[in-house]
Structure 1
Amino acid sequence: MRNTNRPLSPHMQVYKPQLTSMLSITHRATGIFLSFGLVVFVSWLALIATHAEKANWLISFFSTWYGQVLLFGWIFCFFYHFSNGIRHLFWDAGKGFDMKTVYTTGYLVLAAAFGLTTITFFITR
């Protein structure tokens, strides 16, 4: 076998990110971030049941600008993961695998996530 100094697989400097791969990576990342949010939420519920003053501290934390950023992130992650999950349900049924539909539904997932996040975060205040 001849030794060519070529890489065996594409490396990051030559790989062109595609919408489908970025949406897949984002789906996994939002799932992880939602897991951390669930721990915070359950902790808050436990504090309400046991120590109301500590639960109020957590509420005041989320009233700060950095707490609001975290809430915005969790709300976006929820709606992105939810919207992309619906897209995956259609894929599980064998629908929407042609490239045009994959890209169209990908952009719809992003639009739905941003739109629902905006409505939830800014309008319901």
Structure 2
Amino acid sequence: MAQPLRQEKEKWYVWQKLLQLLRLRSVQVSDHRRHRQKELEHQERILREQEVELRLRKMETNIHATNAAFHQTVKHQPENFQKPWMKKVILGGKLFALGVVALVGVKIASVLARFIIAALVWMFEKLFF
């Protein structure tokens, strides 16, 4: 009876050691991945810095060039496209349309309120009379 118990303990001990080794191995693998990730991020940072330096050098050479390009803004609409009174007419039309929409909204709300009041009166009449 002591022999099977001892074998079970030995199996359990072996399994515990195996689990410890697996955990240690997974930690080592994750450490390796973290280290590799940090290396990649460091290389990317260096490449970005080099790219920025190259762009700055290129911009600096373009600034000091003797035949630098001169850009001038261009208007896409002529100055007399809309007369000043036309803007006021458009604004007045918008305000008028807004007033009409508000008036129609009030009328619709009034009709709905009448229906609701009529339904409440009818229910009151059916319940109490």
Question: Would the TM-score normalized by the shorter structure come out above 0.5?
Answer: no
Higher RCO structure, 1 or 2 (CA under 8 Å, sep 6+)? 1
Normalized against structure 1, the TM-score is what?
Answer: 0.28
Normalized against structure 2, the TM-score is what?
Answer: 0.27
Larger Rg: 2
